[in-house]
Amino acid sequence: MEIKPVAYFRSPLKEKFGTPRQAGLVEDLTGCIEFCKGFAPEMLDGLEGFDYLWLIWGFSLNNPDASASAKVRPPRLGGNEKMGVFATRSPYRPNPLGLSSVRIAAIDAAAGRIDVLGADLVDGTPIFDIKPYLEYTDSHPGVCSGFANERPRPSLKVVFSCPGEDETLRSILALDPRPAYQDDPGRIYGLSWNVKNIRFKVEGDVLTVLEIERL
């Protein structure tokens, strides 16, 4: 079977670092699905009646030489405990495909684009298929979700020590984008956001934005 992108995603997040680890964690994070030629507008007819979409997409920033492991270290377990890859959302899988549910903000079928909220995709991500979200079959409230049973909550207080405060960026940083095994208060991190580099450090439960520089 050969699959090809039907669209590409546009996001203010340009790299894996800082991108929410699941869809919906930052509900006001905006993004745009831009369809390839031949897939709009006819194929979008009827989507205006739905609130959410499923996106099937590719982990395009994976190292092409990296192969899937049978067991991985989920961040939710602190990066120290291994689980079978099929019990995780690890990007390194036998087939590097992602699945995300996103909220529709606006549809412009003529222009071949859908604006969405809450995506966990980086800029330029190829999208291979789109399906409407159906609450009666896709939602299963109250079920057990293994070691990831609880929704991740913001764990850091975000302080801007420079101009450029942004509430969506604040929500992303509050989720702690650092690898689970890193806790070095002297380390300066950089995160690409729109056309800016966000430099910050973390001490205890406080994340301080030190500098916002244009790329």
Query: Which residues, other chains included, contact 186 with Cβ-Cβ below 8 Å and sequence gap of 6+?
Result: 201
**Predicted TM-score (pTM) of this structure:** 0.92
pLDDT band of 59, cuts 50, 70, 90: very high
pLDDT of residue 33: 98
Q: Average pLDDT of the chain?
A: 94
pLDDT of residue 109: 96
pLDDT of residue 198: 96
pLDDT tens for each residue of 186-205: 999 999 999 999 999 999 99
- Over residues 102-127, the mean pLDDT reads 98
* Chain region(s) in the chain for CATH 2.40.30.70: 7-138
Give the burial class of 197: count Cβ atoms within 10 A of its Cβ; 0-12 exposed, 13-18 middle, 19 or more buried: middle
Comparing 63-77, 125-139, 157-171, the range with the smallest average pLDDT is 63-77
Whether domain 7-138 has CATH 2.40.30.70:
yes
